[in-house]
Structure 1
Amino acid sequence: MESSVTDRLWDKDVQEFISACRQEKLSDIALDHRPGADGRALLTVSATYRSRKGRIVPVGYRWADSRSGLAAEVYAGKAKAPAGVELDGLFRVALRAGLWADRRHVAFALLAVTDVQSKADGVSSRLQLEYLKVLGGKEPDFAVTSLSGRDDSPEAPDRKTLLARARELTMQTLNDLAYLYGTRTGQDAP
């Protein structure tokens, strides 16, 4: 398993994810997934931002319930905004979070969180496919049908177990990379 999965660490997409985790305004990056309505796993990202005065504020990208279903949003402390908001809207999130003096830095930290989520989303499906191939020991069509969620065979419970294990390994890999290449609050953060 190590050879095919660790070879992925040198892919361009994985390297972009690693560089996104190296944001100087973020520390303690953690990824998780929330099940969507269609059975897909939606990635969430949480991190911390340290203000110039030393205040630690949780920031992140999450999926929240809305009238039209699940909607992506970014947050800083208790303030939140839709994930697609432009830079001016991110300044307002910082103001609502009580970080007037750090509004520019908070806005860029929220952009960095969005970047981490975007890069992780691109990498996770390919990593999950690699893990399915390795865990299933079958041809690639097994992995593709498992990702699509087709349950028309007698092995469907086994496929669900393999898919859950592949998701778990993918999240573990992404969190390990974020831990290794990201900043931690215990260190001197800018």
Structure 2
Amino acid sequence: MIEQHAVRVAHARDQLSEAIRAAGIITARRADIQQHIAAACARRDAALLGLRSGDLQENVGAARLAIAKADIDDLEQLAAGIQPEIAAVEQARRAAEDAVRAAETSLAHAERALVIQGLDKVVIQLEAKLCAAISERHRLAVEQSGGGFLMLSRTWSPSKPLFDAITAGVPPMLPAR
């Protein structure tokens, strides 16, 4: 059972790695497009400045301005077109992160359940030994008193932590380490 949970964790982590890789690819594409947009804006601004300063002839400046504007428009359309892809890979990445968390939580739960089962066996063994020791102590105390009936409470009483655990449902405190 633990192995199945561990396999799920490994699979979920692989899926997350793939989702992160895909997100990185699309993010790099978007960054590349943004760089091209910035370069086209710089060309547009340079053409506009050249026209205003008179460094460029009107027909040359106008042509450069038109080309830069067309490039910007095309690139902005391309950037807008990958937005759904970006949203999809981000959603896939978040889902993969959720799957990893769920698989790790499930594995931790299964591991705790296994430890609890082991502790249940230890508790059963210890309770059997405690009951046997209490019974033997009571038997010896009855003999010591000359026989007859003795209430168990006259021959043995549980420690306060054990009494509180049994009667009040308070878990015993762990000893300080």
**TM norm structure 2:** 0.31
Higher strand fraction (1 or 2): 1
**TM norm structure 1:** 0.30
* Larger Rg, first or second structure (1 or 2): 2
Higher helix fraction (1 or 2): 2
